[in-house]
Amino acid sequence: MVRLALVLAAWLAGGAAHAVDDPYPWIAAAYLVKRDGVVLWAGQPDAKLPPASLAKLMTALIALERGKLDEPVTVGRGVLQATGTRIGLKPGEKLSAGDLLTATVVRSANDACRALADHIGGKSFVHTMNQRAAVLGLTSTRFADPCGHDRDGQYTTATDLTLLAEQVMRHDEYLRLARLERATIRTLDGRSFALRNTNALLGRYPGVIGLKTGYTEGAGNCLVALAERDGVRVLAVLLNAPNRWWNAVGLLDRAFAAAR
Helix extents (H) in 55-196 = 56-66, 97-102, 110-121, 125-135, 158-168, 172-179
The residue count for the chain: 260
Is residue 108 flagged as an active site residue?
yes
Catalytic residue among 34, 53, 96, 212: 53
pLDDT value of position 223: 98
CA 84/CA 229 separation, integer angstroms: 34
pLDDT value of position 22: 81
Is residue 56 flagged as an active site residue?
yes
pLDDT value of position 82: 87
Q: DSSP assignment, residue 106? A: I
Give strand pairing partners of 22.
none
pLDDT value of position 21: 66
* Class of residue 12 by CB neighbours under 10 A (exposed 0-12, middle 13-18, buried 19+): exposed
CA 231/CA 256 separation, integer angstroms: 11
Class in CATH terms, 24-258: alpha beta
Closest CA to 140 of 57, 219, 45: 45
Catalytic residue among 48, 94, 96, 108: 108
Instruction: Please give the chain's pLDDT, 260 residues, in tens.
Output: 333 333 323 333 333 333 346 888 889 999 999 999 999 999 999 999 999 999 999 999 999 999 999 999 999 998 888 889 999 999 999 999 999 999 999 999 999 999 999 999 999 999 999 999 999 999 999 999 999 999 999 999 999 999 999 999 999 999 999 999 999 999 999 999 999 999 999 999 999 999 999 999 999 999 999 999 999 999 999 999 999 999 999 999 999 998 76
Is residue 140 flagged as an active site residue?
no
CA 171/CA 149 separation, integer angstroms: 25
Catalytic residue among 56, 96, 140, 212: 56
pLDDT value of position 94: 98
